[in-house]
Structure 1
Amino acid sequence: MHPHKIVNPFIIALSFWVFMVLGACKSSSSPDAQSTTIEFPTTATDFGNIPQGQPRTVAFAFKNTGKAPLVIYSTEASCGCTQREYPQQPLEPGKRGEIKVTYDAKEAGHFTKTITVYHNGQNGMDILTITGSVEEPMTAQQ
C-alpha cells in the first residue's frame, strides 16, 4: 500500500474540520461589526454634446455609510474608451471618496458606457453610467 493513500483521507478530514471551525468562528461574529455600505448620491451622468477628441471627466462621489472600512477592489469599464481612478486605500466609516471617470470622445455619435465598481460593501458592486453625444468637428465647407 502506498503511503499517500493513507494520508489523503486524513488530510481531507483535517481540511474539512479546519474549514468548519473557521466558518463557525466567522459566522458567530456580529454581522453589523463586519458589514459596510457604499452610498452614491448619483450613479449616472449625461455629458450632453461634446466635441470629438475632447475628453470629459466626471467624479462620482460616494460615502462609506457602514461600520467597517470600505475597500474598492477594482473597477471595470464597458470599453477601453473609459478610464477610471478610484481610492486604493480602505476608506474608514463616515469618510467620503470619489471615482473619476474619463471618456476619451474619439468616436462620433451617441454613447452609453458603464463602469462596474467592485467593493466589500453589502451589494459587492455598483454600476455607474455615463452618456452623451460626441459631435464631429465643423469643417469650412459645412
Structure 2
Amino acid sequence: MKKVIFGLSALCIIAFVSCKENAAKKIEESNVIAAAERDANSTKFPVIEFDKTEHDFGEIEAKAPQETTFTYKNTGDAPLVVTNIKSSCGCTVPQDWSRDPLAPGESASFTVKFNGSGSNKVSKTITVTANTEKGSEIVKITAFVKPDPNAQPKAAAAAN
C-alpha cells in the first residue's frame, strides 16, 4: 500500500514540475492591446433622445384614424441599433423604422398610426427596444375619443 501511495505521489510531482512553464511568456502584446481597447469600448453606449415622449391627438371622433411621427437622435458614443418597436395594443401600429445602425449625432424617425378605437380618454404606449444601456424606451400617445354619432345606443342595439 505504501508503494502505491508513494508511486502516485511521485507521478503527481513529476506531472506538476514538468508542466511548469512561465505563462506570462505566452501572452502576446497585440492581444493585450486588443483586449484593453475592447474593454474601453464596452462602457460606451448609444443614448436615444426623442423630440417628444408623448403625443396628444386631442379630441377625436371614434374610429377616425390618426398618425404621428416620433423623431429620435443618437446622443451617445456608439452606434444605435433599434431592434424592435411595438405598441401596447393592436389599435396602435408603429411603422417605417430602420434597423440600420445610427451613428452618434444622427437622427431617424418612426410613424405611429392609431385607428381611433376606444372611448373617452385613451393612452397607448410604444416600446422602443434598442442597444442602449437601459435596453428599451417608452413613448406614449393619448387622445380623447368622442362617441360615434352614427352608432346605435347599446340598449337599442341589444333589442334588435
TM-score, length of structure 1 as denominator length: 0.72
1:61-76 matches, cutoff 5 A: 61-76=71-86
Q: Which residue does 1:77 correspond to in 2?
A: 87
> Given the superposition, is the C-alpha separation of residues 26 and 108 from structure 1 closer, same or farther in structure 2, using an over 3 Å criterion?
farther
SS at match of 1:39: strand
User: How far does residue 26 in structure 1 lie from its aligned partner after superposition?
Assistant: 8.6
Separation in structure 1 between the aligned mates of residue 48 and residue 142 of structure 2, nearest angstrom: 23
SS at match of 1:122: coil
Mark the runs of 5 or more structure 2 residues left unpaired by the alignment.
1-34, 151-160
2:104 maps to which of 86, 93, 99: 93
Moved runs in structure 1, 4+ residues, more than 3 A? 25-28, 31-34
User: How far does residue 33 in structure 1 lie from its aligned partner after superposition?
Assistant: 6.8
1:110 maps to which of 116, 121, 125: 121
Structure 1 vs Structure 2 CA RMSD:
2.3
> Given the superposition, is the C-alpha separation of residues 28 and 87 from structure 1 closer, same or farther in structure 2, using an over 3 Å criterion?
closer
1:1-142 matches, cutoff 5 A: 25=35, 29-31=39-41, 34-85=44-95, 86-139=97-150
Contact kept? 1:72, 1:119, Cα under 8 Å: yes
Separation in structure 1 between the aligned mates of residue 47 and residue 84 of structure 2, nearest angstrom: 16
User: How far does residue 136 in structure 1 lie from its aligned partner after superposition?
Assistant: 2.4
Contact kept? 2:86, 2:93, Cα under 8 Å: no
> Given the superposition, is the C-alpha separation of residues 123 and 33 from structure 1 closer, same or farther in structure 2, using an over 3 Å criterion?
closer
Mark the runs of 5 or more structure 1 residues left unpaired by the alignment.
1-24
Separation in structure 1 between the aligned mates of residue 80 and residue 38 of structure 2, nearest angstrom: 21
Separation in structure 2 between the aligned mates of residue 65 and residue 33 of structure 1, nearest angstrom: 15
> Given the superposition, is the C-alpha separation of residues 90 and 28 from structure 1 closer, same or farther in structure 2, using an over 3 Å criterion?
closer
Separation in structure 2 between the aligned mates of residue 29 and residue 101 of structure 1, nearest angstrom: 38
**Deviations for 1:8-66, whole angstroms, at most 9, x for unmatched residues?**
xxxxxxxxxxxxxxxxx499521477421111132011111111222111111110111
Contact kept? 2:82, 2:98, Cα under 8 Å: yes
User: How far does residue 128 in structure 1 lie from its aligned partner after superposition?
Assistant: 0.5
Say which structure is richer in strand.
Answer: 1
> Given the superposition, is the C-alpha separation of residues 131 and 35 from structure 1 closer, same or farther in structure 2, using an over 3 Å criterion?
same
Contact kept? 1:33, 1:68, Cα under 8 Å: no
Larger Rg belongs to = 2
Count of aligned pairs: 116
TM-score, length of structure 2 as denominator length: 0.64
